Amino acid sequence: MPQDWSIERAFMGPQQQLVHVTPIEQRVAYKVVSYTDHVVQTDLQAIYRKWYTKIPDTGNPRSVELARQMRENAGSDAAYINAVLAKFHDEEYFYTLQPPALGSNPVDRFLFDTQQGFCEHYASAFAFMMRSAGIPARVVLGYQGGEVNPLGGHLIVRQSDAHAWTEVWLEGYGWRRVDPTAAVAPERIEYGVQAATLDGIGETWGFTAPSQFLQDLAMTWDVLNAKWNEWILGYGPETQNKFMEWLGMDDPDWRKKFLLLVGSVVGFILIISAFMMLRYRPPAKDRAFILYNKFVRKTDLQRRVGETAGEFAVRALAEDKLPVDNVNSVTVAYLDARYGPENDIALSRLKTAVAAIP
């Protein structure tokens, strides 16, 4: 039950609904403190009692007779509620997203003939049986459950999580929530949400649940979409003020906001520039290359563009710049150190060969 909320111009409606005074036409974020244990409306006025026990004057006679007979046998309202839930659980009632059509006298048809339906069938039939026995009842539409996104830490509530249940009014307790759909035995649940996708074709092909890769991809996209809505689409005056307060600026004027904007843009450009410099900076020269350059300088020659170590050795020998042994030992050691298995032995040989050249 919502108790405290941060959104302005909102109030608690007569049916325990958090209502905004004007239609909400854009995405909003707000905080709510709720309590799972609560008592609501322990005193029910006569006008509401009459309203929530009203049933049509005609139709569904078998359901009315069954309800009144079960209430008389139960002895109390609470016992009668449990008896109706036990009926859904013990008898051959099935949960399915593809129930047969009911036609006239729909509650009678559901309770005595088809015994198949989804949450709205069970919620409406249960409310009808409560009202037929003189117990105030109403159907509630909302959402049940959801999926926690492990990446963003938030709960995803989809349209497929829509659900219907009931509330009954008991003397001394007020309105109490009852979910008759949950009373159906698990082995008689024919179709779940996943299996109902594409009229059951997914279940036939064995695709009743998404693969882990697709699940991770969907969760990642959901996080990106949530952050986009939170920081881009939802960035308004309230978010601006919270950000300024976080920076230690209480009630900032337009000059401070302008300076903050300029500073943010400059800081963003500096961060991008630093990233680009780190990303595209040339790789550091390894020790083998540094030692080989010392050898090249001792030959008094310049390496040509694209010239390999072997080609340079041939040219150095042709110019008769250094002894053959020195050129060959440096070249072999350099190739081993630069392109061979990574170890310190070849590098040590190269260092010794370069140092041996006068």
Residues serving a catalytic function are: 119, 163, 179
Residue 274's nearest CA partner among 285, 263, 284, 266 is 266
| Separation of alpha carbons 348 and 358, rounded Å | 18
| Separation of alpha carbons 299 and 317, rounded Å | 10
Query: In the chain, where does DSSP find H-type helix?
Result: 46-52, 61-74, 77-90, 106-108, 119-132, 201-204, 212-228, 237-246, 254-280, 287-298, 309-318, 324-339, 344-355
Angle between the N-to-C axes of helices 77-90 and 61-74, in degrees from 0 to 180, rounded to the nearest 10 = 120
Residue 136 is classified by DSSP as -
Which pair of structure tokens corresponds to residue 239? 């978010």
Please report, as a single letter, which amino acid is at residue 126. F
Residue 143's nearest CA partner among 169, 188, 94, 179 is 179
| Separation of alpha carbons 341 and 353, rounded Å | 19
H or E segment and range at residue 175? strand 174-178
| Separation of alpha carbons 322 and 358, rounded Å | 9
Helix (H, G, I), strand (E, B) or coil at 211: coil
Which pair of structure tokens corresponds to residue 256? 């401070």
Angle between the N-to-C axes of helices 119-132 and 61-74, in degrees from 0 to 180, rounded to the nearest 10 = 70
Please report, as a single letter, which amino acid is at residue 348. S
Helix (H, G, I), strand (E, B) or coil at 168: strand
Which pair of structure tokens corresponds to residue 304? 């040509």
CA distances from 43 to 40, 134, 137, 174 (A): 9, 16, 14, 7
Helix (H, G, I), strand (E, B) or coil at 58: coil
Which pair of structure tokens corresponds to residue 354? 């370069």
